[in-house]
Structures are given as C-alpha cells and as structure tokens.
Structure 1
Amino acid sequence: MRVVTVSLNGLQRAIEAGFFDWIKGADADVICIQDHRMRVYELEDGPYRPDGYEGYFLDGENLEDGGVGIYTRQVPKAIMMGFAYPQADMRGAFLQADFDAVSVASFLLPDALTNPPLQDMKNDFLEAFTAHLNKTLRKRRQFLFCGNLQTAHLVTDADAIFHKTELSGFLGPERAMLDKIFDEMAYIDSFRAVEKGSSEFSWQPEACAMSKRKPGIRVDYQIASPGLAGTVETAWIDRTATFSDHFPVIVDYDIPY
C-alpha cells in the first residue's frame, strides 16, 4: 500500500503547477492532501478528481484555514469528519477514511510560523490531537495519520536556523508533544522508521527568508499506530516536485489494500 501526504497551498494552484501530472507517476493508493483552500461543493466533480481516484474533502468556515482531503483508488467503508475537537472541526482540519485493514486520516494544524498570533491555537490543537491519538490506542483497528503537524521533532528534522532562533515549528513545548506521541505512546514516524539521515526536509518556508539560503524543516508526517510496526518498506520525500512549497512524503507499507 503506497500512501502520499502533501500540503498544497491551494489545490487549484497546485493542479495548474502540475500536481495531477505528478499523481499519474506516483502510483499511490491513497493521497492525503492538506490546505486545498476550496469549498467542498466546488470539489464534487471532474476537474478536481484525478483519473482513477475517488475524492473526499472537508473545508473550514474560513477558506484560509485550508481544509483537508483524501484521494483513494478504493472506496472506503466509512468516512469520519473531525475528531470531536471544535477548533479542528471549524477549520476543516481532520478527515478519516476507513478501509478493511487500516484507517487513514488527513490532518492540518494551524501555521504559527507564518502567522504568529495562531501559536496559542496551535498549542491547544496539538494537545487535543495528541489526546486523540492516545484514545485511538484503545481501538482494535490500525491507523495512519497523515498530514502537516507544523512542527519538527528531531534536531535532524530542522535547519540550523531553527536551532538558533525561537521559531514556531521547533519550540520546546511543541517538540515535547511529539516526544509524547513517538516515545511515550510508541506511534511510528513512518519516514524515520527507514530514513535516518539529516536535512530530510519537507518544507522550505518563505517566513525564514532572513537566511541567505532557503532553510528547510520536516513538518509533514505519516504517523502509524504501534500495531503497524515493521510494515514500513520504503519512505522518501520527493524534493523534485514543484507544485507546492511542501514536498510530498511517500511511504510504502506492507499492508493489504
């Protein structure tokens, strides 16, 4: 099962920049998108559905909040919108598709790097999302949570500018939440399960233009429930993709689909 997650900065713009052409060569079973910036009714037919895929979407009360979606080759058994956290539900920030062997969710946290007033909202959202993952551990199903945490976990996941400057995305309390997810709760950072190198960044934010070069940070994740340990076969970030300033994260799992 091949799963892709990518934050788009607008689906219409990404399609014009080659997103659907990229999909043709990606051979993915499930593609989780974030930040589509469209209304669900606009996404119901042709131009926004790549050939061979069904599409499911959620939008926020405000278009600038982004919204999330899931493209899938196989029709899900069920779709779940939101995770009973009002801020996420209002922002259209969590959508889950249930398949026979696994549930796959697309999620998007608030971006406080480019919009610092959202930091408190981001902190609350991250805490609520972490609590949801903790509750999920009690379920018998296996889960993949795919999306943009707006936060890097390890020193190797962020350019040196984040180490030296107090910037959202690499703050101590944010990273402590990821410690809880990956260390205490034993969720799997699917990319890091097989790729251990440094400078494996998924985003090059313009907000860090204070640097002479364009620094990067890994904020886009596929988070697998502990029962999927050992199922990650390969994982990579496609830094040749040019349809967004976020790069797609692609993971192959030994999971039936």
Structure 2
Amino acid sequence: MIKLVSWNVNGLRACVQKGFNDYFKQVDADIFCVQETKLQEGQITLEHGEEYDQYWNYAVKKGYSGTAIFTKIKPISARYGMEEDEEAEGRIITLEFEHFYLVNVYTPNAKRDLSRLEYRMEWEDRFRNYLLELDKCKPVVVCGDLNVAHEDIDIKNAKANRGNSGFTDEERGKMSTLLESGFIDTFRYLHPELEGVYSWWSYMPKVRERNVGWRIDYFLASSRLALNVIDAQIDCQIMGSDHCPVMLKLADFSE
C-alpha cells in the first residue's frame, strides 16, 4: 500500500508553529505533498530523516504560492511547472514513479472580484492538456488545492455561493471537463453521497466551528487506477491552516 497526503499549509513556517511536524510524523505518509509554502529557498529547514527526499518549487514573488513534496519512494525524475517558460509562481511539481506520475498542484485563484477568471480558464486548459500528455505514458495522480468546489455537495451554502470565486459555473465546468477526460475524484469515487465533509474554511469567526466549509482539496487519479484506490479521507480535525490535509491510499502496483 502507498499512503499519500496533501495539505495546503497556507504558509509552511506558520504551520510548523501550529503542529505541522507532529502531524507529519503521526501520519507517516509515503509521499507528503504541500501547497502554498510561501517561502524561498533557505528560509526553512525540515528534518524528517534520511528516508524522505525533498522537492521544492518556489515562487519568485516572496511570501507567495509555492509547492513541495517529501517522498520515501525515490522518483525516476522531477519536473517543475508545465512548460519551459512557465510563469514563476511555483505551482506545480511532477514526480515520475515506476507505475504513475504524481502531480502536486496549487491552482490559481480566480480572485474575489473574478479579475483572474479569464487567466484561470486558460490555465485550466493548459493543465488538462499537460495531464493528458502524461497519461499517455502512464497513469497520473493529481493532488492539491484545486481552488474549486465541484458540486453542490462539496460546499455548505451552494445556493448563496454560486458565481463566487471557486464556485463559478466556469470553474466547476473545467473540473467536470477534466474528470470527463479520464480522471476520477477519488474521494467522491468512494464516498459519492457523503455530505458535510470539507477541506477549507474561512478564517471568519466560528466558521470552522460551525463547519461552514468548502471541499477544494483533492486527489484525482487516472480512471484506470480506480481499482487501486483503497481509501480516500479528509482529516478535518487537523488544525494549523485554513485547509486540512487530504489522504489517499493506493494498493501496491506489484503483480
């Protein structure tokens, strides 16, 4: 079995002060992916033993975006971004393993006033094409903050939020298109009707306490990996960020 964890930490240095290392040790993942690290090279040192290799993609802009992967399984190769001239926001790390690609992603936010929605739409198309190219070679696992609640069941107040950033018809449509292109939402694959399970809550008072949340953090996988999906969970009780960790367990690929 391979255990994968993904967490938007909303600032890794801050999250370390709020129990990140304790959770990291407790969950004992084979592969641990992080989004929104908000730091530059050399600004943090994490000691997780020699068993974990570390891969970092930093944004050029200080205190912004950024992704990282800690893995016990040595990858064949690592790639940063989608293209050679990728905008330097540190949003994507792709590791190639023997049986699958792992893509850790922090999807651009459309912004509250939707000023970045057009860019987001163009980015979504490029990202889907990137995943489909990888999928031609071997199956793909995608994890991270995808910045969209896909269906009404994935958000507490669907009616009131329709049209808001992260719940526009356009963003939700791009997620549908991606899934229809040959991917599964592993959590919904195992829990198609489970309500009230979210991965992000506003920092406004008592919002998390009342579980007024959104499910915007995912593990997606190539459809042909469906039989390998053993478990998919959301660790809602874990604090330290406005997001909580999400987890995927895959059956071993050995024959």
1:179 counterpart = 2:176: yes
Give the direction of change, closer, same or farther, for the CA distance of 1:178–1:132 in structure 2 (3 Å limit).
same
- The one-letter code sitting in structure 2 at the alignment partner of 1:74 is I
Superposed, which structure 2 residues align to 1:32-51 within 5 Å?
A: 32-43=33-44, 47-51=45-49
Tell me the equivalent position of 1:195. Answer: 191
Q: 1:114·1:207 contact (CA, 8 Å) conserved in 2?
A: no
Give the direction of change, closer, same or farther, for the CA distance of 1:205–1:123 in structure 2 (3 Å limit).
farther
Give the direction of change, closer, same or farther, for the CA distance of 1:212–1:99 in structure 2 (3 Å limit).
closer
Residues in 1 aligned to 2:108 and 2:216: alpha-carbon distance in whole angstroms: 12
- Runs of 4 or more consecutive aligned structure 1 residues displaced over 6 Å after TM superposition: 207-212
Give the direction of change, closer, same or farther, for the CA distance of 1:204–1:100 in structure 2 (3 Å limit).
same
Tell me the equivalent position of 1:163. Answer: 159
Residues in 1 aligned to 2:238 and 2:127: alpha-carbon distance in whole angstroms: 29
Give the direction of change, closer, same or farther, for the CA distance of 1:86–1:120 in structure 2 (3 Å limit).
farther
Residues in 2 aligned to 1:110 and 1:76: alpha-carbon distance in whole angstroms: 26
Residues in 2 aligned to 1:30 and 1:77: alpha-carbon distance in whole angstroms: 14
Higher helix share: 1
Tell me the equivalent position of 1:12. Answer: 13
Q: 2:197·2:236 contact (CA, 8 Å) conserved in 1?
A: no
Shift of 1:130: 1.9
Stretches of structure 2 that go unaligned for 5 or more consecutive residues are none
How many residue pairs get matched?
Answer: 250
- The one-letter code sitting in structure 2 at the alignment partner of 1:191 is F
- The one-letter code sitting in structure 1 at the alignment partner of 2:72 is R
Q: SS at the partner of 1:244?
A: coil
Q: 2:40·2:63 contact (CA, 8 Å) conserved in 1?
A: no
TM, length-normalised to structure 1: 0.88
Give the direction of change, closer, same or farther, for the CA distance of 1:54–1:224 in structure 2 (3 Å limit).
same
1:130 counterpart = 2:133: no
TM, length-normalised to structure 2: 0.89
Tell me the equivalent position of 1:84. Answer: 83
Structure 1 stretch displaced more, 26-35 or 207-216: 207-216
Q: 1:8·1:36 contact (CA, 8 Å) conserved in 2?
A: yes
Residues in 1 aligned to 2:209 and 2:246: alpha-carbon distance in whole angstroms: 26
Q: 1:113·1:167 contact (CA, 8 Å) conserved in 2?
A: no
Q: 1:49·1:55 contact (CA, 8 Å) conserved in 2?
A: no
Q: Percent identity?
A: 25
Q: SS at the partner of 2:88?
A: helix
Residues in 2 aligned to 1:187 and 1:226: alpha-carbon distance in whole angstroms: 5
Stretches of structure 1 that go unaligned for 5 or more consecutive residues are none
Tell me the equivalent position of 1:56. Answer: 55
Structure 1 stretch displaced more, 21-30 or 112-121: 112-121
Shift of 1:207: 7.0
1:73 counterpart = 2:69: no
